[in-house]
Amino acid sequence: MAQKTQKLVEEITPMEEDFAKWYTDIVKKAELIDYSSVRGCYILRPYGYAIWENIQRILDTRFKELGHENVSMPMFIPESLLQKEKDHVEGFAPEVAWVTYGGSEELQERLCVRPTSETLFCEHYAHVIHSYRDLPMLYNQWCSVVRWEKTSRPFLRSVEFLWQEGHTMHETAEDAMAETRQMLDVYADFCEQSLAMPVLKGQKTKKEQFAGAEATYTIEAMMHDGVALQSGTSHYFGDGFARAFDIQFTGRDNKLAYPHQTSWGVSTRLIGGIIMTHGDDNGLVLPPDIAPIQLIIIPIAQHKEGVLDKARELAARLKKIVRVKLDDSDNSPGWKFSQYEMKGVPVRLEIGPKDIEQNQCVLVRRDNREKIVVGLDELETAVPAALTAVRDGLYEKALKNREERTYTAHNWEEFLQIANEKSGFIKAMWCGDEECENKIKELTNIKSRCIPFEEEHIGDTCVCCGKPAKHMLYWGRQY
């Protein structure tokens, strides 16, 4: 009972009681999302959108440093264009939304609302790629896409969502493969450094790879509850799309050749991952890099002379180095503490009359509530140090959760026991046969997550059928 009285935000369902309800409570009460009248489509409120803007800003800078340029493609894809790549259209057919009328007139050809833009980019590339001198062509776009999901959850799975999709063309297969792996590394580094979210890097099985791709690489994160979240993917297409769309260039040998293609993307699903990796029973916990407010200043006894003036002075000083907000509303300090804990602000600064007398303030970390008394003259050093400590603390806690929830299965009996009793990743050997992959999913609702780039040898036989194993896989339930 003592723990319950200490909770600052009673409205949130405890995650141990109902994880799904806990997640929904945070999404709504931290003012990230509102529901719209369109099934599966959500409104990103200013605070939720600000998190996405920070994600976008960091990644966009990285992309441009690597030579990528932003473009904007149409929202609509003619059906004939979508049909040009057979595997691709079959993979997306169940999720496609179609426009059949323009105004009051029926369209002669249906238009697909883009679920992804490979076909649009390929149509454009056929017009602008002529010579090896035009390559590589490194494009990216920030946009929304539509996939007609049967069930939806805010951020994790929705009919319309925001994302970025990179699409590149290269002179050789080696160049395209290097791009595919490079962009996966960009995503992994971003998740681990900026989101404090540990990820596994690896290749998807053929069954799980992107429609039309020759190889799909993935980063897989583990949430509080041991369920996996596919957090970003990078695809190598070979020259399949180029052949389907007749994209050719004159090579260095003066002969016509087909370019090799990649695509890669992350979406607002990352925000769901942040919530489920770092959040707690008091609300959101945001990694500093993407927090809309990195430091909240809360004056104590602000009605007393000099308190608000000092708080405003500190806000003006610190806004040069962090994203800072001063809450000088007439709400009580306790209410403000709860409010900004709910919103996941990484560090809180408290300043009152006694603090001013002693030329100090109190910094409170959101991740562990540690309080630090800091001299006001030291804030330019102490605040960034506190933010770094929050990021490191979040990463270490998430990594510990993943390590404690990763199990090894040497045979089918062990696999079934872990699947029935535990939640997390299972490391197990696999023969490479899709039939075994299907059987495991059918009997346990567990899917292959990835073949890690550095495979451990934990046995010689497939965990499912007992035949000689080809790969070690990570397996797990997914969002």
State which residues form the domain around 61.
Answer: 2-278
Which pLDDT belongs to residue 212?
Answer: 87
* Secondary structure of residue 190 in the 3-state scheme: helix
**Mean pLDDT of all residues in 21-45:** 96
Would you say residue 337 lies in a domain? yes
Specify the CATH number for the domain of residue 19: 3.30.930.10
Residue spans of alpha helices (H) in 219-378: 240-244, 269-278, 307-318, 333-342, 353-357
Would you say residue 139 lies in a domain? yes
pLDDT at residue 363 is higher than 60: yes
Would you say residue 331 lies in a domain? yes
Which pLDDT belongs to residue 2?
Answer: 38
Q: Which residue has the tokens 């409205």?
A: 11
pLDDT at residue 369 is higher than 70: yes
Residues 178 and 96 in one domain: yes
Tell me how far apart the alpha carbons of residues 321 and 314 are, in angstroms, rounded to a whole number.
Answer: 12
Residue of 366, 353, 164 lying closest to 267 (CA atoms)? 164
Residues 155 and 6 in one domain: yes
| Mean of all residue pLDDT scores within the chain | 95
Residues 6+ apart with CB under 8 A from 243: 258
Burial environment of residue 193 by CB neighbours within 10 A (0 to 12, 13 to 18, 19 or more): middle
Residues 92 and 219 in one domain: yes
Instruction: Tell me which DSSP letter residue 468 carries.
Output: B
Check if the beta carbon of residue 431 is closer than 8 Å to that of residue 468: yes
Residues 124 and 58 in one domain: yes
pLDDT at residue 179 is higher than 60: yes
Torsion of CA 195, 197, 203, 205, to 10 degrees: -120
Q: Which residue has the tokens 């609509």?
A: 76
Residues 208 and 244 in one domain: yes
Q: What is the largest CA-CA distance in the chain?
A: 81
Which pLDDT belongs to residue 184?
Answer: 98
What are the CA-CA distances from residue 302 to residues 184, 298, 310, 333, 371 (Å)?
A: 49, 9, 10, 9, 20
Residues 260 and 383 in one domain: no
Would you say residue 43 lies in a domain? yes
Tokens encoding 368 = 């562990």
Residues 416 and 385 in one domain: no
Q: Which residue has the tokens 């990484």?
A: 346
Burial environment of residue 105 by CB neighbours within 10 A (0 to 12, 13 to 18, 19 or more): exposed
Which pLDDT belongs to residue 5?
Answer: 40
- pLDDT tens readout for residues 75-131: 999 999 988 877 777 777 788 999 999 999 999 999 999 999 999 999 999 999 999
Domain boundary among 278, 310, 339: 278
Residues 385 and 421 in one domain: no
- pLDDT tens readout for residues 181-206: 999 999 999 999 999 999 999 999 99
Q: Are strands 69-70 and 137-146 parallel, antiparallel or unpaired?
A: parallel
Specify the CATH number for the domain of residue 340: 3.40.50.800
- Distance linking the first and last C-alpha atoms of the chain: 33
Residues 411 and 456 in one domain: yes
User: What pLDDT band is residue 8 in, cutting at 50, 70 and 90?
Assistant: low
What are the CA-CA distances from residue 14 to residues 8, 156, 281, 286, 394 (Å)?
A: 12, 20, 5, 18, 19
Tokens encoding 229 = 């979240």
Which pLDDT belongs to residue 10?
Answer: 57
DSSP secondary structure letters along 211-226:
TT-SEEEEEEEE-TTS
Check if the beta carbon of residue 284 is closer than 8 Å to that of residue 272: no
Would you say residue 420 lies in a domain? yes
pTM higher than 0.85 for the full model? yes
Which pLDDT belongs to residue 100?
Answer: 97
Residues 6+ apart with CB under 8 A from 216: 203, 204, 208, 209, 210, 233, 234, 235, 236
Instruction: Tell me which DSSP letter residue 475 carries.
Output: E
pLDDT at residue 1 is higher than 50: no
Residues 6+ apart with CB under 8 A from 336: 296, 298, 327, 329
Would you say residue 42 lies in a domain? yes
User: What pLDDT band is residue 6 in, cutting at 50, 70 and 90?
Assistant: very low
Residues 43 and 147 in one domain: yes
Beta strands of 174-224 (E only): which ranges? 199-203, 215-222
Please count the structural domains in the chain.
3
Tell me how far apart the alpha carbons of residues 341 and 339 are, in angstroms, rounded to a whole number.
Answer: 6
DSSP secondary structure letters along 377-412:
GGHHHHHHHHHHHHHHHHHHHHHHHHHHTEEE-SSH
Would you say residue 151 lies in a domain? yes
Which pLDDT belongs to residue 211?
Answer: 87
Residues 124 and 253 in one domain: yes
**Mean pLDDT of all residues in 225-238:** 97
Would you say residue 379 lies in a domain? yes
Residue of 429, 435, 436, 433 lying closest to 414 (CA atoms)? 429
Residues 216 and 154 in one domain: yes
Residue of 474, 472, 469 lying closest to 456 (CA atoms)? 472
Half-sphere exposure of 280 (CA within 13 A, CB side): 17
Tell me how far apart the alpha carbons of residues 3 and 1 are, in angstroms, rounded to a whole number.
Answer: 5
Residue of 423, 402, 426 lying closest to 412 (CA atoms)? 426
- Give, for 187, the enclosing helix (H) or strand (E): helix 173-193
- pLDDT tens readout for residues 265-299: 999 999 999 999 999 999 999 999 999 999 999 99
